[in-house]
A = this chain, B = another copy of it.
């Protein structure tokens, strides 16, 4: 993994030089983690454009006293400034070397209006310049270490679901909350540090609420049960949704399930390099619209996933950009019939040159539990 962090910093430096910045002040903690591997709760990073792998004397890492030991272990290769507030301390550190840090970019998508005031004060002669989203742009395309973490996160979730199905845990008489907890515990058994977001288990009419929180609602025969959940492994989030039926499916259930299943397959097939994110959303949406349920699909088709559960690119009618090999995204169309029930089917996949690589492998056939 440390090797990967060096490469990521190298790639960032190239972009910095293109933008004629001497350095980038990274304050988004996830971006710091991405570039260094540091997992504490407070840090900042100053990446100098002219440093190079093995000789990073002008690149510095900042955190506070709680993380002295941890940062020495996780970021041994960089100068460490142990002082609060970390971002201001790094800027002050740069301000002492004004000839080497003339123009320093900052993450204007992350630094607050008030935060910029205190950075500007610390900067003295250093010119701070907006440089929004540079690391996020880089993070859209996952490297091998990241895909491996995503694969493990997806596997933990897959295995947990298989366990529950094999043990008949999803059945009439149990509550949404019980099932959510069992899913989460099984994911921990399979190596997750935790759930990657609040597990959704939604039975019966609750399945028509796109983002439902598990309650003490008891599963009953004839219910749709929608499970939207994921595992967190090495900071990476998996995300999958499966919808089951308790007992024999009714005709309307078979119908909307089949529409969503086709839409999801269509969306997956559209997720190829060069595809506009809007067109991927459109491809799946068109299937649902043609079936007469267009208004029952009130959310985007999917989103990027990685160190955040929702990150760029967004596969939505409002999204921008095109897909590139190595992007990890979800594809998750749904149909929700208020008061009756809903279906969502979701995979996490990696865009590849040929067909996308699906990381969530549980069956998408209509499962009768």
Contacts and interface: CB of A to CB of B under 8 A. Distances in A.
Contacts of A210: 66
B209 A70 contact: yes
A113 interface: yes
A238 to B, nearest CB: 18
A321 interface: no
A111 interface: yes
A369 interface: no
Given A68-B298, A181-B188, A185-B185, A132 B108 contact: no
A145 interface: no
Interface string A36-65: 000111000000000000000000000001
Interface residues of A, number: 34
A338 interface: yes
30 contacts: A39-B213, A41-B211, A65-B298, A65-B299, A66-B211, A66-B298, A66-B299, A67-B211, A68-B298, A69-B209, A69-B338, A70-B209, A70-B211, A84-B318, A108-B113, A108-B114, A109-B113, A109-B114, A110-B112, A111-B112, A111-B113, A112-B112, A112-B113, A113-B113, A113-B116, A113-B130, A114-B132, A181-B188, A185-B185, A194-B198
6 shortest A-B CB distances, which residue pairs? A108-B113, A65-B298, A108-B114, A109-B114, A66-B210, A114-B132
